[in-house]
Amino acid sequence: MEMETRMKKRIRVEANTEPSESPFEALSEEILFLILDLLDSNPLDKKSFSLVSRSFFAVEARHRRSLTPLRPELLPFVLSRYNSISHLNLTLCPYLSDASLSSIASLLGPSLRSINLSGSRSYSHRGIESLANKCFNLEEIDVSNGVELTDEAAAAIGRMSKVERVRMGRCKKVTDLGIGCIAVCCPNLKLLCLKGCVGVTDLGVALIAVKCRKLRSLDVSFTMITKKCLPAIAQLPNLEDLCMTGCLGINDKALVTLKQGFKSLQALDMSNCQNISQASVSSILQKNPSLHHLNLSYCSPVNSMLSGLHGVFKLNSIKLDGCHVSTDGLKSLANSCISLKELSLSKCSGVTDEGISVIVAKHKDLVKLDATCCRYITDLSLAAITSSCASLVSLSMESCTKVTWEGFRLIGRHCPKLEELNLTDTDLDDEGLTSLSQCQNLTSLKIGICLKITDEGLIQIGRSCPHLQELDLYRSIGITDKGVSEIARGCSNLETICMSYCTSISDESLKCLSNCARLNTLEIRGCSLVSSVGISAIAARCCNLSKLDIKKCYEINDAAMLSFARFSHNLRQINLSYCSVTDVGVSALASISCLQVVTMLHLSGMSADGLAAALLMCGSLMKVKLHVSFKPFISPVLINRVESRGCMFQWLNKPFQVQLESSEVWKQQSHDIFVE
């Protein structure tokens, strides 16, 4: 049967080529390459291109440089077609054996420049060794999340002598020895990420700093390093980006005693380093005039540090999330920096209108301001911001409950360049929303838990913000089908929409939204009016859909799952808890070849056998969340089997809860938390 179909195909192809009068054939390869260069934005365009003719197909194959395969089992076929791939992203292939890596190595050989293995856990050092042996032009490798990788894997990476960028976050079994191999054998290393490599200590990091003098970017977050390796790091001549998040071993003494060094440092991330103080930060700032980005989030003594700042710094961006920042601190920050572009005061306590005003008055070029949970700021702050920062692009004011409609009106009137706006959990109403619609460049609008907004405001947004890509209406219960359909009509670029617990939403909204062909994320949790009809419409027309949350949409049943299985070949993540899906639906879902994360709690129609069959069938699974009551019914052999393919089980014990809690209550709760 297989043979027959193939023969037919061939005959058809020959029949096509015979006339050869097609004008496409006249186009030279260079021209086709130029066309393909311009087709980069949407992956589907290239697929359509390659379907034009055989020569287009071949040209597309030759042109393609980067590839993100969805199904590892087709890799040999795909790679023999695309044999000049230089960037291979395998994050969607959780089951990737050493044998497949060695086949990739032999198929691509020297043309491979970059490979990303961060999504897979099933390969070992032997696969990396075969890459090292055959792909000697490899410049970039990402083996993050390889929690089982050992020093031998690191040594194999060390054998790739041309490698420049190595990311090995969370490789917990790698120790100094492996890092030492990389340090000695990769003199060209420019970027190294050791985030969460808990086996790595000062010795390994210091050796890296001694041997890899070309290093530009180093991430040693969440490692056990102490001050002992800092002098070596400080001597790196080209280091531009240093990330030391959560390094509790780094203390004041280490930083203060550094007489010189970090000459080229531009970005420093010291968030969650709780053992540093004002003295060390100001000494770093004073010694490094080139420092542009500083992250001091969740470092407790930031306030005293800010007051102690003296001198002039060229900082562009500073993050002080989660710290106590007083008005005086902000004043001295405003005075000592020349030109701030980004300021993050998210969850900072002590931020007042005066503080914000001082900052924005001094730094009119501010592009990004994050004032999430700064509960004391009012319309006065917004007046200051809007009057001086005309170039503001991103503003986040989540849970700033004292801001009123007047503030929102100012935003709409004075910030035409605004692209990202987060007003979640504020007192936004239709009037405010209508004035916000003047920001016509908005790409991301988050107006969740704004209980006062209705369709009226949303319609204005839909009519005047055509570039909107992300819309969050979480628990904004005033929204109905009318508003959503206006959005769907006006914002055809929409990629992400969250309408969870907007209980008035029905199939009508989804039918309208199915016009947004780029939609990839849809959250309609708790929209109990939505049925399989609406969701099937989405499935049929939004072929980019990759994340879907339909928890507590009780009306959704197997029919929706079957249409997903048929149309949604890009679905990666789905939550279908509480849906009326049975074994049939689950196994249909399992046939989606790139499905990675599934949450299936309280599916009344699903049996243990159906679940077992689905688990076996769906080879791409990375994470499955199930109710703990299923555990005794699934054979441990099966579980082992699935786990060995790179899947992780999470057994939850959430109680069955049908009733939705009211959104007002939720908002009130959040109030209480913040008032404390």
Contacting residues toward another protein, per CB under 8 A: 1-3, 5-6, 71-77, 80, 95, 97-100, 102-103, 107, 125-126, 129-130, 150-152, 155, 158, 176-178, 180-181, 184-185, 203-204, 206-207, 210-211, 565, 587-588, 591, 593, 609, 612-613, 616-617, 619, 635, 637-638, 641, 645
Q: Are 104 and 77 in contact (CB under 8 A)?
A: no
The answer to whether the Cα torsion of 416, 417, 421, 426 is positive or negative is: negative
Q: Which is nearer to another protein, 189 or 530 (CB)?
A: 189
Q: Which is nearer to another protein, 72 or 407 (CB)?
A: 72
Label residues 470-497 b or e (16+ Cβ within 10 Å = b). bbbbbbbbbbbbbbbbbbbebbeebbbb
Beta carbon of residue 633, minimum distance to another protein (angstroms, whole number): 10
What's the 3-state SS for 125-154? HHHHHHHHHHCCCCCEEECCCCCCCCHHHH
Beta carbon of residue 638, minimum distance to another protein (angstroms, whole number): 5
Beta carbon of residue 155, minimum distance to another protein (angstroms, whole number): 6
Q: Which is nearer to another protein, 211 or 263 (CB)?
A: 211
Beta carbon of residue 73, minimum distance to another protein (angstroms, whole number): 4
Residues 6+ apart with CB under 8 A from 59: 29, 32, 33, 36
Q: Which is nearer to another protein, 597 or 638 (CB)?
A: 638
First to last CA, the chain: 71
Residues 495 and 468: their CA atoms lie apart, in Å, by 8
Q: Which is nearer to another protein, 422 or 593 (CB)?
A: 593
Q: Which is nearer to another protein, 150 or 521 (CB)?
A: 150
DSSP codes, 365-432 = T--EEE-TT-TT--HHHHHHHHHH-TT--EEE-TT-TT--HHHHHHHHHH-TT--EEE-TTS---HHH
CB atoms within 10 A of CB 584: 16
Tokens of 265: 């440092």
Beta carbon of residue 620, minimum distance to another protein (angstroms, whole number): 9
Nearest alpha carbon to residue 70 among 119, 124, 140, 37: 119
Beta carbon of residue 116, minimum distance to another protein (angstroms, whole number): 18
Q: Which is nearer to another protein, 411 or 560 (CB)?
A: 560
Beta carbon of residue 587, minimum distance to another protein (angstroms, whole number): 6
Q: Which is nearer to another protein, 104 or 318 (CB)?
A: 104
What is the gyration radius of the CA atoms in the chain, in angstroms? 28
Q: Which is nearer to another protein, 155 or 191 (CB)?
A: 155
In degrees to the nearest 10, what's the CA dihedral of 32, 33, 36, 40? -170
Residue appearing with tokens 């939609």: 519
Beta carbon of residue 596, minimum distance to another protein (angstroms, whole number): 14
Q: Are 550 and 525 in contact (CB under 8 A)?
A: yes
Q: Which is nearer to another protein, 1 or 15 (CB)?
A: 1
Which DSSP category does 110 fall into?
A: G
Q: Which is nearer to another protein, 315 or 595 (CB)?
A: 595
Beta carbon of residue 588, minimum distance to another protein (angstroms, whole number): 7
Residues 234 and 242: their CA atoms lie apart, in Å, by 10
**In whole angstroms, what separates CA 573 from the centre of its chain?**
14
Beta carbon of residue 99, minimum distance to another protein (angstroms, whole number): 5
Report the SS3 class of residue 214. Answer: coil
Label residues 107-125 b or e (16+ Cβ within 10 Å = b). bbeeebbbbbbbbbbbbbb
Beta carbon of residue 255, minimum distance to another protein (angstroms, whole number): 22
Q: Which is nearer to another protein, 180 or 196 (CB)?
A: 180
Beta carbon of residue 181, minimum distance to another protein (angstroms, whole number): 5
Provide the β-strand partners of residue 652.
Answer: 627
Residues 120 and 622: their CA atoms lie apart, in Å, by 9
Beta carbon of residue 80, minimum distance to another protein (angstroms, whole number): 6
Q: Which is nearer to another protein, 33 or 77 (CB)?
A: 77
